[in-house]
Structure 1
Amino acid sequence: MEFDLDLDAFSDRPQFSSCIPDPGREIPRENEDRRMLTSPFLGLEPVENPNAYCLIKEKITQALRQLKELTDQHVLAQFWAPVKNGGRYVLTTSGQPFVLDPHTNGLHQYRMASLMYMFSVDGESDGMLGLPGRVFQQKLPEWTPNVQYYSIKEYPRLGHAQHYNVQGTLALPVFEPSGRSCVGVLELIMTSPKISYASEVDKVCKALEAVSLKSSEILDHTSMQIQICNDGRQTALTEILEILTVVCETHKLPLAQTWVPCMHRNVLAYGGGLKKSCTSFDGSCMEQVCISTTDAAFYIVDAPMWHFREACVEHHLQKGQGVAGRAFLSRNACFCRDITQFCKTDYPLVHYARMFKLTSCFAICLQSTHTGNDDYILEFFLPPSITDSYEQQTLLGFLLAIIKNHFQSLKVASGIILEEEGLVEMVQASTNKGLDSRLECIRIPR
């Protein structure tokens, strides 16, 4: 694949031409794009040392040269750098390095649209952060199979993305060699959906390392072997796999899987990416704040769910994120009728759920007599065809009955006993922000 390289972006004097769209105003339509893109916004200055600023640009240029063969898809790779705009610090891609597929006019137009955006990163503005701003502030990567699943508040460029058919996107923080200072954000933009970004992240990391920069790395699947570290855990996961199999085959669930507390030094958080401070050096997770899926206990009925499962493997969930994270937080059971209404912060996999039309989800946190206090979060996705509330609750009762039949060795982690009824937290996305929840008793059939 051929790419155009912006060599003019590396002159000694930074060049900027941008404006900030008014968050209260609708994104311009096609007939307004040309007027908007020709309106320069001056007064931007590089952050701190201009010489260091130019050196970073030179390094990013060299790294982007190595990313020309990044993917077979049409790609725009662009760098967002922090600059000072008056008394504020903002991210801009204007005057910054980029590579672009010369055969995709839509990406050319989207590059031009991106030049007009700045995202506040100093915490002193009420403006929308956007994808680059979130990644820069949190110093964690974020990716999505399709940016069109974002709301306009989460992704202010949504109107342009829809118009120019922008879909799969990955944004990575770029750090100086010490890893303490974030120098910018590298954004990869595609015109087709993208499920897994492990290969792309690996290539980006290698390209950055070659120029003495770094970014977050994707979780290595081999590190997950620590999840099965003794005979007791293997026995417990075997019994859990039996439950998942019976449930999915009996009630035609598309997918069921198991999450376990993360035991790695490096974990994925908030839409992907490593957060190295989350775990201790001896391999035990500090306060067990994250969970990851295990390859030892999952069951798939619908073939397309393999792609959703692949996305789950690349993500970790923090306590309270998604239905599984809520069950882990309460150490009990949790159900949501429509997980697609979550925002990405509350459920990092929400875009994938929308893509694969998964809606209702149930999760329960269990412990096994074989492994003492180890937690296992079983997650079940109900058939999308079951939308009636009564039918859903009836199915939940059957699921609890199957789990109850295995209580010779398994129990609810919170200590709640399943008898004629099971106590389940019902959650839904709030119209204001965050989640609403209530406890409900679900009848368990004999």
Structure 2
Amino acid sequence: MTQALRYFKELTEMNVLAQVWAPVRNGNRFVLTTSGQPFVLDPHSNGLNQYRTVSLMYKFSVDGENDGTLGLPGRVFQQKLPEWSPNVLYYSSKEYPRRDHAQHYNVRGTLALPVFEPSLPSCIGVLELIMTSPKINYAPEVEKICKALEAVNLRSSEILDHPFTQICNEGRQNALSEILEILTVVCETHNLPLAQTWVPCRHRSVLAHGGGFKKSCSSFDGSCMGQVCMSTTEVASYIIDAHLWGFREACVEHHLQHGQGVAGRAFLSQNMSFCSNIAQFCKTDYPLVHYALMFGLTGCFAICLRSFYTGDDDYVLEFFLPPGITEFHEQKTLLGSILATMKEHFQSLKIAAGVEL
């Protein structure tokens, strides 16, 4: 791991603290500690140096049942899934016990990745990156970490694949063209800042990535591990507010599992779902909540649809309401108008559950 961190430092120009958390025996159980583990940091950053010292005082459970004992490293170790945030101050102190120290030493963006041996499923440690500025996109850092780990015969979660360049199924192309038209009409008619489409990851295999086909699940968050999850496509989204491109890019790097966020709830119910303030979700229930806070998003509506072009394939359309509309009755009135507009423009589409719109 020491050599991997040195290699990573050579690959990156960012001012970061990179440290390893590893399990050690503490009495009759194991805990994660970074004490005695390799690390690299920017020698010119006093804040990162102090935060490294603070981190040495913490031990996190590897078998705890709540975020308070697990902390960020413990969650990543236990779930074998990465976790990252544009700004750790969006965590509660229970979710991120070092939060007060992070605020004091100007720590903001963070990324934690599980580390595995090449052929073994068990996690052997967690590699944590800590930055002094907020950060939206982490795919470049994940790619550098993966290269550094591979150089020493270790591995972590796969990185984000290249954007889709063409649709290889005519029926799906027709369905997504109709969806894009609906997203466009709804956003322009009702002045919605952003709308996008989520699809189950099993559908991703019909999309070509530049020079050929890739695996069906391509997000580096790895949340498809044995579970049904959703990814947002490149072809069916619409943005009016250019300020939200960062949020859209964050969505591309994430997957949503059954029931996560408004889109995940719509997918789970095969129907509609609405939340008046998505910023109230915890990160476990909505992995993108920190980005919603960063970009000031509140009301959100999603609907799970199917098209006669593609049979049982599900498409979840997600619409974000204007941030200025926060009163519940105003949101409900707007929601009714959105549904009426959608119904006018449905051709091949219907609600997946089979109910009338």
Measured against the shorter chain, the TM-score band is over 0.9
Q: Residues 120-269 of structure 1 correspond to what in structure 2 (within 5 A)?
A: 120-123=61-64, 128-222=69-163, 224=164, 228-263=167-202, 264=204, 265=215, 267=217
Secondary structure at 2:286 match in 1: coil
Over 3 Å counting, the alpha-carbon distance change for 1:163 and 1:258 in structure 2 is: same
Over 3 Å counting, the alpha-carbon distance change for 1:275 and 1:253 in structure 2 is: closer
Q: Residues 291-440 of structure 1 correspond to what in structure 2 (within 5 A)?
A: 291-418=230-357
CA deviation vs aligned residue, 1:243-272 (integer Å, no higher than 9, x gap):
111111121111000111112546478xx6
Report the counterpart of residue 77 of structure 1 in structure 2. Answer: 18
Over 3 Å counting, the alpha-carbon distance change for 1:254 and 1:75 in structure 2 is: same
2:222 aligned residue (274, 279, 283): 274
> Do 2:89 and 2:99's aligned partners in 1 also have CA atoms closer than 8 Å?
yes
Q: Distance in 2 between matches of 1:310 and 1:400?
A: 26
> Which structure: larger Rg?
1
- 1:100 paired to 2:41: yes
Secondary structure at 1:108 match in 2: helix
Secondary structure at 1:160 match in 2: helix
Q: Distance in 1 between matches of 2:251 and 2:4?
A: 29
> Do 2:223 and 2:257's aligned partners in 1 also have CA atoms closer than 8 Å?
no
- 1:116 paired to 2:57: yes
> Do 1:219 and 1:274's aligned partners in 2 also have CA atoms closer than 8 Å?
no
Which ranges of structure 2 fall in alignment gaps of 5 or more residues?
205-214
**Greater RCO between the two (CA within 8 Å, min separation 6)?**
2
User: What is the one-letter code of the residue matched to 2:192?
Assistant: L
Q: Which moved more, 1:258-267 or 1:386-395?
A: 258-267
CA deviation vs aligned residue, 1:22-49 (integer Å, no higher than 9, x gap):
xxxxxxxxxxxxxxxxxxxxxxxxxxxx
Q: Distance in 2 between matches of 1:125 and 1:378?
A: 32
CA deviation vs aligned residue, 1:74-110 (integer Å, no higher than 9, x gap):
2000000100011120000011100010111000110
Report the counterpart of residue 21 of structure 1 in structure 2. Answer: none
Q: Distance in 2 between matches of 1:262 and 1:296?
A: 15
> Do 2:194 and 2:320's aligned partners in 1 also have CA atoms closer than 8 Å?
yes
User: What is the one-letter code of the residue matched to 1:98?
Assistant: F
Q: Distance in 1 between matches of 2:243 and 2:11?
A: 25
User: What is the one-letter code of the residue matched to 1:251?
Assistant: H
Secondary structure at 2:134 match in 1: coil
> Do 1:268 and 1:317's aligned partners in 2 also have CA atoms closer than 8 Å?
no
- What TM-score, normalized by structure 2, do the two folds share? 0.93
Q: Distance in 1 between matches of 2:241 and 2:10?
A: 33
Over 3 Å counting, the alpha-carbon distance change for 1:123 and 1:385 in structure 2 is: closer
Over 3 Å counting, the alpha-carbon distance change for 1:123 and 1:388 in structure 2 is: closer
Which ranges of structure 1 fall in alignment gaps of 5 or more residues?
1-59, 279-285, 419-446
Q: Distance in 2 between matches of 1:311 and 1:249?
A: 23
Q: CA deviation at 1:177?
A: 1.9
How many residue pairs match? The answer is: 346
> Do 1:70 and 1:200's aligned partners in 2 also have CA atoms closer than 8 Å?
no
